[in-house]
Chains A and B, each alone.
Chain A
Amino acid sequence: MKRYDAIVIGGGHNGLVTAAYLARAKKSVLVLERRPRVGGAAVTEEIFPGFKFTMFSYVVSLLRPEIIRDLDLPRHGLHILPLESTVTPMENGDYLAAWGDHDETRRELYRHSPRDAEAYDEYGRLMHFMAQAVKPILGMVPPDPTSFAPGDLAGLLKLGKHFRALGGERLHALVKLMTMSSADFLDEWFETDVLKATKSASGIIGTFLGPRSPGTAYVLLHHYMGELDGVFRAWGFAKGGTGAVSEAIASAARSFGAEIRCDAGVSKVLVRNGRATGVVLENGDELSAGIVVSSLDPRRTFLQLLASNELPAEFVADIKRFKFRGSSGKVNLALDSLPSFSCMPGIGRQHRGAFSISPSLDYVERAYDDAKYGEFSRRPYMDIVFPSMIDPGMAPPGKHVMSIFVQYAPYNLNGGWTDAKREAFGDAVVNTVESFAPGFKSKILHRQVITPLDIERITGLSEGNIFAGELALHQLFFLRPAPGWAKFATPVRGFYQAGSGTHPGGGIMGASGRLAAMRILKDGGGA
């Protein structure tokens, strides 16, 4: 039987990135994916003939540019196209729009509040600085503040220096971002409610928090990070959907010699004398390897693939405490034609950007209130894009696909999720859109409703949390996924973690996968 240098469990984009980097370093690598296709939460599937759905994730901004360069992804088909605008329909029939052109956006904001138009520029500059300040941390293995090891102390010192170098004003802004709610943070800048609502929405993505919950300002920043890499618009759309990102990485990995096996779910990691030696597949096959890497979330990685007696009890307790609390759903639609929003009637360039259903802070906060007590939002926050407007190949000519990211849909719904509840959730989404775009419902040809439970069932992401663990302050950096184990190694020798549940966290970023590969190679890489 062939013995691999490394086996990577999970063919999501992070697992693929790890595999590609290891293979690039001349390791023999096998990726084992449970589903018939790679991609995990970054997949494009033709659910209805001719209509390609970006099933889960739908936009890209965080993907590390060094990965694109190192793996030469454009050669493997990656092409990220800009999303040009964000339009927020308001309850009074007006709208707020942010366009690609700065002057145009400024003029639009000026219409709502002259002062906010100016504050917007200043705010943008600050966030740019802040993202710049935090970015090095994304590419850094988090030092452990509890350790007295020279490496950790040096790391802490370096981190301390880095932050002090920011200077007072930015350091304070960083503390605010780390601790405040996005609503409070934005209150310090703006007076226009709909502007605050739309901005704050990016602070709630993937969390079980509302815009007024402290901790959401950090997520705001997390989503700003993509703006740094010289891209004009932060968010882009991958040609062929986010599945094409995974395919490109897979193709790169294969080109370096990695083997990728689909329909090959792993049931256990084999551990002998405290050291990982291979895996057992769901079909019973055993495969052996020098090292094993899991790109699954921490709960699956440690509580499912391993027996608890193989791990320290304290660590198991920490992993059990790790919060998932999935809160997002997805509705994917096949449309006969594009809907016209009454705030900006007709079909036009606005359809090449996003529509944000976040008409007021109270609206978004009330959506959260529903979820807090175990119901899906009756009028949810939604982020809508029309992938076929950016990449016409996503739907048959003249027809369209519509991707609706929805919050909140709590994983722990009162009474549990059922087929009927799923459809009721779908109805709430569609009816809310209809209220901003009358006539929209009549254009729907097919509908796919995805609840957090569906996300969990299909991708394996526990409780359907899109980031493989909430991006809460106490689950970041050296605490992700557990104190003392934030450096991609695990208590089991030869067993590594590489998924979004590790530092720096979720989104199609690839950073976890890359940092894990670096760590593995530093450790000798199984061979």
Chain B
Amino acid sequence: MKAVLGLSLKARLSLLYAVLLILSVVIVGFCSYWNVWQLFINNKSAHLRARAKPIIAHWLTDYGLVSVEHPASKLTSETAAILARDLTSKQSSAIILDNTGKIIAKGKRLPEEPDAPPPELGQFKKAMSGENEVTYFANLNGTSLLVMLIPLRPRPGSPKVFGVVQLSTGLREINRMLFRHGAMLMAIVALILILGTVAGYWLIGMSLRDLQGLVKTCNAISSGDFSKRVSVNTTQGEIGRLATSFNQMISQLESIFASQQRFVANAAHELLTPLTGLKGCVEVLLRGAQDDPATTSRLLKAMYREVNRLIRLCEQLLGISRLEGSSHVHRQDVVVSEFFADFMPQARLLANDDRLVLRQGPYARISVDPDLLKQVLFNLLSNALRHSPDDTPIEITWRLLPDFVEIQVRDHGEGMDATTLSHVFEPFYKGRSHTCSYKRSGLGLSLAKSMINAHGGTIKVESAPGKGTIVSFTIPLSSN
């Protein structure tokens, strides 16, 4: 078994195929052989019976055995000898048995006529008890014989059986024909096996070729070449479907890989700006600015701000990568209105005035990580504050949806054009805005999206230039 499992798929399939082929062909051959043999025997016995029936009928009438009270008494060796003789030919021989099983007459006279086998008691009893078609095989001096017992009755259907005719015939001819038939079958089986195995091997090879292509492509991809695809001749069939889904999977991987690379490149670019500032400040200090205390202090403060900006950026990046697996989400059941009662004073510190308007929604319990929810709202609020004039309100509200609560943050500021809108969730994307780009990282909304998605919710932005912006996101209701 182990040796077989070690073989290649192609060899294994071919082997299996050959075994099945042999098995089925042998079974078919055997059945056919047996059927033909049955047919021959049936034919032969029908033939014997057909020949015997009229002879027996004539004999019964000729010797007055019909409709007598005790036909057995009338069965003498003389009358029986006549019947036996009539029933004997070159192919078959007959003997007549009385109701005790004793041979009372034998038909064989001429030497070319076959010998009759001795009667078998069991079979004789069956015939005596009225069974009409007792046939069996016997062996006499090495030749096999078909033996048939015909009960003798005064008239057809009569229950009285007063003797039994034993007809026997040689099977040599049948055996010869069967042998010829068998030989032919063997030849055909051998031919089918050879052709079948060759064709099967070829067919399996054909269908495995695509699989081998798949293996080759896999190898290329595992060495880093994501541009490779499996060439598929058809999209039908298991292998075609496998190749198609394989290609789809690789395309997915490729795009994920590309977006990862983009993310890393963007992150590096984003880090470069603050680093430029830091490097420049240090250089200017070293080149002599350090000799002036006022300048030194100014530059140091600028550097301090820049370092903080770098740290914030790194924290945001970490936040995004941490949320990739949702293991950092610590959900608990929270009543929305209670959450906001806690959150609004903190948010007012950020907004620094009364611009924040909370419109209470219906009672709802949500399953959420409150710290993450706060971060999301802080991000949305700082966007709203940044992109709207000081005298416009920023509204927060929530409503109930099936299975979810939808929370909405709305400002009446500059809004976004369609291009910005289609990119806002991309990490590092900064739209055109009147706000200096150094204050923005382009991560706020991506971070919010990751956080919401980690909860199983969704987030969307509706906005138009000059019309303000509405950001709404959903959080699942708590299940108990």
Q: Do A and B bind each other?
A: no
**Partner-A contacts on B (CB < 8 A):** none
Residues of chain A touching chain B, judged by Cβ–Cβ distance below 8 Å, are none
